Chains A and B, each alone.
Chain A
Amino acid sequence: MDVKVTAGEKLTINLMVAAAGVVIVWDSQSLQGGSAYFPLTVGLALIILSVMSAIHLLRHFIGSKTSEASLPHGIAGLLLALLYLWSAQSIGFITSALWFLPLMAVLGGERRWRFIVGITLCFALLVWLVFGLVFAQTMPPELIFGEVG
């Protein structure tokens, strides 16, 4: 399903890319000789190309469609992913999946609660079996599953 991207959003991203170019140029100023040439060139080219894209966007002022997630869904998903990672550090990857999966599923439009709970538990168990027992991968200590690996 294609979702709409506004010209304003595109312009903001263009400016962020230009800002990244400025940072690269600024960093290259602290370097000497051969080490500086490549980043300096890359940074300058990035600024020029982003400004060209921004000017084109301002002149034609067009939005477009993308097959990526809609911005609210994408941002909400990313925030949940950040929270998941933050909690995984304290209570473990598999234990954190027990709250992360249901919330993401609801965000993705799934409303069958028993199904969500069943799949979440099966998935957590499968991950524990595969990564913890079969492959014996070392992971941060789990609140529920204990030491894994």
Chain B
Amino acid sequence: MTELLGGLLAVITLESMSAMLMGTAAGILVGAIPGLTATLAMALLLPFTYAMDPFISLGMMAGIYNGSMFGGAIPAILMKIPGTPSAVATVFDGNPLAASGRAKFAIHVALCSSSAGSVISAIALMLLAPPLVELALKFGPVEYFWIAIFGMTSVSLLLASAPAKGLASALIGIAVGIVGMDMISGAERLVFDVRSVAGGINIAVLLTGLFAIPPALAMLDAHSRKLGDVAISGQGITIKDALYLVKTWLRSGLIGVFVGVMPGAGGNLAGILSYAEEKRAAKDSSLFGKGDPRGVAASECGNNADNASSLIPTLALGVPGNSVAALMMGAMLIQGLNPGPALFTQSGDVVYGFMWQMLITAFLMLAIGFVGTGLFVRMLKVPTGLLAPMILVVCSIGTYTASNNIADVWIMLVVGVCAFLLSRSGYPIAPIVLGAILGPMAETSFRQSVLISRGDPLAFFASPISIVLVTLIAAVLLFPLWRWFRQSRA
């Protein structure tokens, strides 16, 4: 409790509040432009965070994450195009509401619901992360090895349409993580006499290349999109309307939190599941799909409730469960903060402060959303053909200024080229990042375990936690086989 209050005091400063405000506004703007996502915005910001105070960089990141999830609802409601993948289910009822002249009401419902989801999620983060840290303190290298393997396999298999490609993506990531000097033997691996990578590939360079370059290139094909009329019409939300949605928020918030904790699942799954559950639970579901505000509320609350909760395993165990969590982890690593149990004791003010930032940005989003809706709607008219080169220029400058080394910018571009080609062929990008972060962790833990156990393989199955994790890994690996078996029988 003392740490939690300490964290709150640490983030109530002018600098931190300004950073959260800027991040939230930027997040809504980014989310409102179809094709731009939270990951892209965070990847763009990442190289610039080297010179920032942790409370400022993490505050901006928190704002972008929460804000972009709401921003995605704006084009979903007005143009039937989800601004982010998480807003898919918002289209179902949001667009019919806009078509019937109630666009402003639909956007306000999305805004209040996003805010409610973010609040529920931030509270879940504050409540669930500390007990998980207590559990994590009992972990040794063996448990960490299995956790890393579980993180990689679950995300790889859940995100890819083809399991082999998902696993291959994770292996590519592990290979990227191996590049550089082996910290135990001192041997250089996968360096090939390229001196700029002898120290390993910088995490900010990798994340920027993976998450900013392919979407920027995809925008070059977006010019054919018909923007149409994007005016906001009708009355806004009333307190009575908001009270009517409280039950929906609680239900969808819990679903979003649960989905967020699961590795590999994301905001889009949380939004769709929340929408489906709301429709199932409704006494009269005849208006769903025709402009029922509960549909918009469920989707938006669900996808925002996934945000902070997805960071629970990242903060407590140092194991990111999705690409945004990996970017958050990257932002912390840049600041010299290693997510995991030790972080709670060594830098408690930063961790708990960050939790508060996730909560405060939920309220900032509400205020900015009500004031600036008109401006965000205008962002829909920004030609994406011009945004693409702007992103590439900002990426290049950010990557260069992070290390004052032009070689890093070339590496970022090469990573971007590879990501572009791989994702076109069905290789998911998120497992590459997880592989690069968790691969070295798995290797170090494995080698430490072998040393401690003097090569006894049974040591990997000695503790109950290890057995649980191995069972989970086996279940995740067998799931695609089971699905294939069911499909072949059907």
Contact = CB atoms under 8 A, between A and B. Distances in A.
Interface of A: 1, 3, 5, 9-10, 13-14, 16-17, 20-21, 24, 27-28, 31-35, 38-39, 42-43, 45-46, 49-50, 52-53, 56, 64, 66-71, 73-74, 76-78, 80-82, 84-85, 88-89, 93, 97, 100-101, 103-110, 116, 119, 123, 127, 131, 135, 137-140
B218 A68 contact: yes
Interface in B182-238: 182, 184-185, 187, 189-190, 192, 213-214, 216-225
Nearest to A74: B217
Contacts of A3: 221
Contact of B420 (A74, A82, A84, A127): A74
B11 to A, nearest CB: 22
Interface in B364-393: 383-386, 388-390, 392-393
Contacts, number: 201
Contacts of B225: 1
B404 interface: yes
Given A24-B175, A35-B187, A101-B393, 10 more contacts: A1-B225, A28-B189, A31-B182, A34-B185, A43-B175, A49-B164, A74-B420, A76-B220, A104-B389, A110-B385
B386 A119 contact: yes
A73 B221 contact: yes
A93 B174 CA distance: 32
A80 B216 CA distance: 13
A3 B423 CA distance: 12
Contacts of B189: 27-28, 31, 35, 39
Interface in B161-184: 162, 164-165, 167-168, 171-172, 174-175, 178, 182, 184
Contacts of B168: 17, 46, 49-50, 53
Given A13-B421, A42-B174, A32 B185 contact: yes
Contact of B221 (A70, A106, A110): A70
B397 A93 contact: yes
A78 B409 contact: no
B413 A81 contact: yes
Nearest to B421: A13
A56 B389 CA distance: 37
Given A46-B175, A68-B218, A138 B386 contact: no
A107 B386 CA distance: 10
Contacts of B394: 127
A107 B383 CA distance: 12
Nearest to A38: B443
B393 A69 contact: no
A22 to B, nearest CB: 12
Interface of B: 48, 51, 162, 164-165, 167-168, 171-172, 174-175, 178, 182, 184-185, 187, 189-190, 192, 213-214, 216-225, 383-386, 388-390, 392-394, 396-397, 400-401, 404, 406, 409-410, 413, 416-417, 420-427, 439, 443, 446-447, 450
Q: Which 3 A-B pairs have the closest CB atoms?
A: A108-B385, A109-B223, A104-B389
Nearest to A119: B386
A44 B41 CA distance: 35
A12 to B, nearest CB: 8
A149 to B, nearest CB: 8
B47 to A, nearest CB: 10
B175 A104 contact: no
A138 B401 contact: yes
Contacts of A5: 424-426
Contacts of B423: 66, 68
Given A38-B443, A93-B393, A74 B171 contact: no
Contacts of B396: 84-85, 88, 93
Contacts of A131: 397, 401
A131 B447 CA distance: 44
Contacts of B213: 81
20 contacts: A1-B222, A1-B224, A17-B168, A17-B422, A35-B189, A42-B439, A49-B164, A64-B426, A68-B217, A74-B424, A77-B220, A78-B217, A81-B392, A81-B416, A104-B389, A108-B220, A108-B386, A109-B223, A116-B386, A135-B48
Given A31-B187, A42-B174, A108-B384, A69 B389 contact: no
A32 B257 CA distance: 46
Given A71-B424, A97-B389, A49 B171 contact: yes
Contacts of A85: 396, 406, 409-410, 413
Contacts of A49: 164-165, 167-168, 171
A73 B220 contact: yes
A118 to B, nearest CB: 10
Contact of B164 (A31, A53, A101): A53
Contacts of B221: 1, 3, 69-70, 73
A88 to B, nearest CB: 7
Contact of B417 (A78, A104, A109): A78
Contacts of A119: 386
Nearest to A1: B221
Contacts of A13: 421-422, 424-425, 427
A108 B383 contact: yes
B436 to A, nearest CB: 12
B162 A20 contact: no
Residue from A32, A38, A119, A131 with most neighbouring chain B CB atoms (10 Å): A38
A101 B386 contact: yes
Nearest to A13: B425
B420 A109 contact: no
